[in-house]
Amino acid sequence: GQQLNQSPQSMFIQEGEDVSMNCTSSSIFNTWLWYKQDPGEGPVLLIALYKAGELTSNGRLTAQFGITRKDSFLNISASIPSDVGIYFCAGQWSQGNLIFGKGTKLSVKP
Amino acid sequence: EAGVAQSPRYKIIEKRQSVAFWCNPISGHATLYWYQQILGQGPKLLIQFQNNGVVDDSQLPKDRFSAERLKGVDSTLKIQPAKLEDSAVYLCASSLVFGRGPETQYFGPGTRLLVL
């Protein structure tokens, strides 16, 4: 099945650094979402984007819906240890089925 | 508000055996989804229910997988017989409505299946 291209696959950062990850698709989407998944848990929604060009923040997280509707990025500012986890982007057409990326594994050096 | 509940949390079976997973969505959520998440990948939709009717089961391997949501609330996902490649986390998600634009999907903790 179709999956999104998410990069980087993994990253190690120092606490306090900013983080950036992105997602691209060959297809357009009407909605882009960013989830975080902790070990042994299901994905938790961080940010949802509904309009091309939209820039949305949630605390230290900022995400943008690309103008072409085929890409999105997520930034985390001033990372802390609890940011560790796997971040997934997901695209959605009108409703229902989410198409997920393969995830970006974030590890923070204390 | 209680989240999506799933059981069991872990299951180990041998290939060719049968297994069933249970999901209880958030109260009042009409739409229920089952996703399969293979290690190192993002979740992939298996089946979507609206109340007790199937909306999308195009990616469900119907020769061995089945799912039902008889009363429009709880759901079960069954694999019979299991293969080694079915080892994965099976996630259940629910959302409030379907057909009125984007709706946030809330995920349960998942059932981790290992087929030996």
Ranking A85-94, B55-64, B91-100 by mean pLDDT, the lowest is: B91-100
Bridge partners of B54? B49
Please count the residue pairs, one from chain A and one from chain B, whose beta carbons lie less than 8 angstroms apart. Answer: 66
Residues of A near B (Cβ–Cβ under 8 Å) read 1, 3-4, 6, 30-31, 35, 40-45, 48, 50, 88, 90, 92, 94-98, 100-103
**Cβ contacts (< 8 Å) between B96 and chain A: which residues?**
none
Residues of B near A (Cβ–Cβ under 8 Å) read 4, 31, 33, 40-45, 48, 55-56, 59, 91, 93, 98-110
Q: What's the pLDDT at B103?
A: 73
**Cβ contacts (< 8 Å) between A31 and chain B: which residues?**
102
The answer, yes or no, to whether the previous bond of A8 is cis (omega within 30 of 0) is yes
**Cβ contacts (< 8 Å) between A95 and chain B: which residues?**
98-103
Q: What's the pLDDT at B98?
A: 62
Residue B90 pLDDT greater than 80, yes or no: yes
Residue B101 pLDDT greater than 70, yes or no: no
Q: Residue B82 burial by CB count (10 A; 0-12/13-18/19+): exposed, middle or buried?
A: buried
SS3 B28: coil
Residue A95 pLDDT greater than 90, yes or no: no
Q: What's the pLDDT at A107?
A: 92
Report the b/e string of A8-30 with b at 16+ CB within 10 A. eeebebeeeeebebbbbbeeebb
- The distance of A18 to chain B (nearest Cα, Å) reads 24
User: What CA–CA distance (Å, rounded) separates B72 from A97?
Assistant: 19
The token pair that represents B26 in the structure block: 């958030």
User: What CA–CA distance (Å, rounded) separates A7 from A20?
Assistant: 9
The DSSP secondary-structure symbol of B103 reads: -
**Cβ contacts (< 8 Å) between A43 and chain B: which residues?**
43, 91, 107
Q: What's the pLDDT at B22?
A: 97
Residue B106 pLDDT greater than 60, yes or no: yes
Q: What's the pLDDT at A1?
A: 55
Select the residue of B44, B91, B107 nearest A1 (Cβ to Cβ). Answer: B44
Mean local confidence (pLDDT), B110-115: 98
User: What CA–CA distance (Å, rounded) separates B4 from A97?
Assistant: 18
Give residue-wise pLDDT tens across range B12-32.
999 999 999 999 999 999 999
Q: Tell me the DSSP string of B50-90.
A: ETTEEEE-TTS-TTTEEEE-TTSS-EEEEESS--GGG-EEE
Give residue-wise pLDDT tens across range B46-85.
999 998 899 999 999 999 999 999 888 999 999 999 999 9
A95 with B99: Cβ contact below 8 A: yes
The token pair that represents A11 in the structure block: 């990253």
